[in-house]
Structure 1
Amino acid sequence: MNFEISDLKARLEACETDLAAHRGYLKALEYGVRTLIITHPDPDLLSRAWESILPGITEAHGPEGGWIFNAAFQQLLSVLTQQIEARGGKVGD
């Protein structure tokens, strides 16, 4: 029994380490995307491009990863949309 518990503990620690690495990777990407939005030379073009691809993004990844994935996915799409709108104009205008 101790072997099973220690094995499960090691696997859990490995998953936590992997998750922390992925969170760091995603956070770095988030800041990179924010920088690209802020410095885009044509905010209106960025807004129109985002508007045109947004429906395809949600269709392509809709029910893919369960409710936690979907909630996080929709939250980040909303944040990106807000940042693009703040820089250029309303998406959908």
Structure 2
Amino acid sequence: MAYLEVTLKVLNENRSAAAEIYTKYKEPFLKQIKGAQTKDLLIRDEDVQVLHGFASVDDANAYLKSDLFNQDVVVGLAPLLAAEPEIRIYNVA
């Protein structure tokens, strides 16, 4: 198993719009992306994180190259971000 963590700096006034993007693409992510297992939204005062669970690191890397990620999620979130997202992939031992 692997996790893809995307940390987003989103101003408070844009958080509901960012949450709508998360909700809109959660089901397509789980149904269409190879190896996708979970997707959770984690909210803190300083940032928002989207934690994606995958069957493998290769599946997580493939998602980052997918049209769903690059043409839908990234395009939708771009105007809401206060900084570049931080992206990390973790392999579960």
Query: For the superposition of Structure 1 and Structure 2, which TM-score range results when normalised by the shorter chain?
Result: 0.3 to 0.5
More helix by share: 1
Higher relative contact order (CA 8 A, sep 6+): 2
Largest Rg, 1 or 2:
1
More strand by share: 2
Give the TM-score, by structure 1 length.
Answer: 0.35
